[in-house]
Amino acid sequence: MTETTDIANRPQDRFPALFAPQRWEWGGMDAQFSTELPPDGLITNIHLAGFTGDLLVLCRDSRGHWFLPGGTREAGESIGSCLDRELREEAGARLLGPASWIGAHRCVTDHPEPYRPWQPHPEKAWLWGWAEVVVDSAPTNPADGEQVEEVRAMPVAEACELLARGREPWWGELVAFAAAHRDGTL
């Protein structure tokens, strides 16, 4: 018996912008998304598609940018501790269960020094996942982080459109990818 793969159902075909090679000029990085999770030592940033019921939680900063809560790991910080801290800081949220990791952007920077001294260099990874969350307080907005002005739970389609507007289309595809993982339709 010969096994075949339905190529039309491959994630790379459903979410081409997400899986395409990317250049992140702001960080001097070439990035490539993969569902293969990187080793812990390469993970410098963690971001989460947080769901509350059928809605997705997004944050808007003082520049008007919408984003998924998350951010940079501190020296010696575990993935779980970073996620908990970033959810509180940016969304006033907390996890209701474990995070499900769906992939990562593996990045190589052309900057001569790491962003923070303890980070791997020149290779690093941004970890992406989803989880059930509750927004039960205001963002803590530490002075050295994004200044969040609004946290909103919205339908997934609206979040996809909002994230893709004025940015790279892969942002919207990332949310759709996370929602497909959550719903078991991937």
User: Looking at the domain assignment, is residue 10 inside a domain?
Assistant: no
User: Looking at the domain assignment, is residue 150 inside a domain?
Assistant: yes
Per the structure block, which two tokens stand in for 148? 């969040």
CATH of the domain at 137: 3.90.79.10
Task: Specify the number of domains making up the chain.
Answer: 1
User: Looking at the domain assignment, is residue 54 inside a domain?
Assistant: yes
Query: Taking all residues of the chain, what is their mean pLDDT, rounded to a whole number?
Result: 93
User: Looking at the domain assignment, is residue 2 inside a domain?
Assistant: no
Q: Produce one character per residue of 152-167: b if its CB has 16 or more CB atoms within 10 Å, e if not.
A: bbeebeebbebbbeee
Burial bucket for residue 177 (CB in 10 Å: 0-12, 13-18, 19+): buried
15-61 pLDDT, tens digit each: 999 999 999 998 999 999 999 999 999 999 999 999 999 999 999 99
E strands, 54-175, where? 55-61, 66-67, 70-72, 93-95, 100-109, 123-135, 148-155
3-state SS, residue 93? strand
pLDDT for position 6 = 54
User: Looking at the domain assignment, is residue 98 inside a domain?
Assistant: yes
The secondary structure of the chain in percent helix, strand, coil, rounded to multiples of 5, reads 30, 35, 35
Residue with tokens 């970890």: 127
Phi, psi for residue 83 in degrees, rounded to 5? -60, -45
pLDDT over 70 percentage in the chain: 95
Structural domain harbouring 82 = 17-183
- Mean pLDDT score, 127-142: 97
Distance of CA 48 to the CA centre of its chain: 5
User: Looking at the domain assignment, is residue 146 inside a domain?
Assistant: yes
149-172 pLDDT, tens digit each: 999 999 999 999 999 886 788 999
User: Looking at the domain assignment, is residue 55 inside a domain?
Assistant: yes
User: Looking at the domain assignment, is residue 8 inside a domain?
Assistant: no
Residue 66: pLDDT over 60: yes
Overall pTM surpassing 0.85 (yes/no): yes
